[in-house]
Copies of this chain bind each other. A is one copy, B any other.
Amino acid sequence: MSLFRNLSRISPYSSSSKSHTLINTIITNRFHGPLSTFLSHFATATATQASDYNLAPHVGLGPTKAHEKARVVVLGTGWAGSRLMKGLDPSIYDIVCVSPRNHMVFTPLLASTCVGTLEFRSVAEPIARIQPAISTEPGSYFFLANCTSIDTDHHMVHCETVTEGEQTLDPWKFTISYDKLVIALGAQPTTFGIHGVYEHAIFLREVHHAQEIRRKLLLNLMLSDVPGIAKEEKQRLLHCVVVGGGPTGVEFSGELSDFIMRDVRQRYSHVKDYIHVTLIEANEILSSFDDRLRHYATKQLTKSGVHLVRGIVKDVQEKKIILNDGTEVPYGLLVWSTGVGPSPFVHSLDLPKSPGGRIGIDEWLRVPSVQDVFAIGDCSGFVESTGRPVLPALAQVAERQGKYLAALLNKIGRDNGSRANSIRDMDFGDPFVYKHLGSMATIGSYKALVDLRQSKEAKGLSLAGFLSWFVWRSAYLTRVVSWRNRFYVAINWATTFVFGRDISRI
């Protein structure tokens, strides 16, 4: 009988006594009973048209009631949104997160995953691990969806599900009422309107980008070894071009050259002389770093075989890019990392804007002129009236803002301001102040740059070389969000050191 209780507990059909009997039949008969009646009850249930619920009015989460917790709706699962959710007090708020991905990406280590130094999963943190309340509190949710519009008058966001990969379901719309709304939607890669970038280049912002780069790199290495390929095609296939000399572009180039120097030479010895990395930048590489560090990086990268090219890309075609001066650069792999700008969705929002078109915020990260709406991370910038500059689109800015806002919202909640339209003349405490902790970038060959100056003009410590690399690794290892991934990052580094990088194309 305990067997039966156990089963009925996890069965979705346990509500009807009829299905109890049927499950019992299965158990007692093992494989010998007529099961059609049991299964046909299931079939009847799905006779309901899947599209019916598209027509249902007011589908979604309505305004919170007095006996429920107030609801914070968070749009986005990047550095800002994730850090915010981590800090929110689930005893004060129900947290509802809307995002097309269920994890945060530890972006500074993403470049390492493209060549197998780290595993993809080691740099992805599920939101449920960052804030467990999301999956355990009855009123907290993660919704795999995109926000399509924000209705600040009615304290409501409109969303549409992301069903990519599930052919049997069409996306559907729903709404969520909020007590507090935090917009943390990030930014999108800039392409300067250059033709062909979206079609032919790969960005490096999501795990699936890194997966695509790795698959393509390994494919090109293998194809260039097959008899019958012309020498020129081989050179093209194995020419990896990186556009953009910021930290991401430089770190990726460094990782690639490490991969070539250590792993390709050993494991693709037939084609090792054909593989080649070019980094194209319109200005200086690593422009935010100290001059001395920049020169060091230039020297090191060149020494590792990375060709540094100063040029402006005019057009991106299937097999080559065209520079402004007419030069044609054939490529097999093209990675685009020229910085980020506001997304069309941010553009479309009828909210105050900062210089540069981001969502405008005041010193407390509130969106002025509307109630209960906050914006953090790359999608937000101080409005002109604050007299503050728009902060750079950096993980550390986003993270610091998320942390600050979590504390602020918790304080507001404790001061009875958690409900919609309940913040009146509350004392918000100290405004958000950003203090730059410095920049780091690895350049391959166990070397890195660490620039601890607060701004480009300030004085302060700057380091380059192996010690910096050690600081870089240690610093990031302690920043990785969960213990599980911290453990895996360390293990991945150790196995890469001992066994080299994995080259299975899976």
Give every chain B residue within 8 A of A103 (Cβ-Cβ): 504-506
Q: Which of B145, B228, B484 contacts A56 (CB 8 A)?
A: B228
Give every chain B residue within 8 A of A284 (Cβ-Cβ): 31
CA distance A14 to B235 in the complex (A): 12
Please encode chain A, from 202 to 237, with 1 for each CB lying within 8 Å of some chain B CB and 0 for all others: 000001100100011011101101111111110111
**9-residue interface stretch from A323-331, A341-349, A389-397, A472-480:** A323-331
Within 8 A of B (CB), among A112-155: 119-121, 124-126, 128, 135-136, 138, 141-145
Is A412 positioned at the interface, with any CB of B under 8 Å from its CB?
no
Give every chain B residue within 8 A of A288 (Cβ-Cβ): none
Cβ distance A279 to chain B, nearest Cβ, rounded Å: 10
Question: With A3-B302, A225-B141 in contact, is A506–B120 under 8 Å at CB?
Answer: yes
CA distance A56 to B329 in the complex (A): 26
Is A305 positioned at the interface, with any CB of B under 8 Å from its CB?
yes
Give every chain B residue within 8 A of A483 (Cβ-Cβ): 499
Is A30 positioned at the interface, with any CB of B under 8 Å from its CB?
yes
Q: Is the CB of A303 within 8 A of B43?
A: no
Give every chain B residue within 8 A of A11 (Cβ-Cβ): 276, 305
Give every chain B residue within 8 A of A484 (Cβ-Cβ): 495, 498-499, 502
Is A364 positioned at the interface, with any CB of B under 8 Å from its CB?
no
Give every chain B residue within 8 A of A59 (Cβ-Cβ): 227-228
Within 8 A of B (CB), among A53-81: 53-54, 56, 59-61
Give every chain B residue within 8 A of A211 (Cβ-Cβ): 506
Question: With A26-B308, A102-B505, A227-B174 in contact, is A169–B330 under 8 Å at CB?
Answer: no
CA distance A266 to B133 in the complex (A): 10
Within 8 A of B (CB), among A34-58: 34-36, 39-40, 42-43, 45-48, 50, 52-54, 56
CA distance A311 to B35 in the complex (A): 9
Q: Is the CB of A504 within 8 A of B40?
A: no
Question: With A30-B298, A228-B60, A235-B42 in contact, is A36–B325 under 8 Å at CB?
Answer: yes
Q: Which of B237, B309, B499 contacts A39 (CB 8 A)?
A: B309
Is A1 positioned at the interface, with any CB of B under 8 Å from its CB?
no
A interface residues, how many (CB within 8 angstroms): 135
Cβ distance A134 to chain B, nearest Cβ, rounded Å: 9
Q: Is the CB of B228 within 8 A of A172?
A: yes
CA distance A144 to B271 in the complex (A): 14
Is A17 positioned at the interface, with any CB of B under 8 Å from its CB?
no
Q: Is the CB of A233 within 8 A of B50?
A: yes
Give every chain B residue within 8 A of A119 (Cβ-Cβ): 119, 121
Give every chain B residue within 8 A of A42 (Cβ-Cβ): 235, 239, 328-330
Give every chain B residue within 8 A of A384 (Cβ-Cβ): none
Query: Top 3 nearest A-B pairs by Cβ distance?
Result: A43-B328, A103-B504, A59-B228
Other A-B pairs, 15, CB within 8 Å; known A10-B305, A60-B227, A121-B506: A7-B303, A9-B273, A39-B328, A45-B232, A46-B236, A53-B228, A56-B228, A102-B503, A119-B121, A121-B504, A128-B503, A163-B223, A166-B223, A172-B228, A491-B491
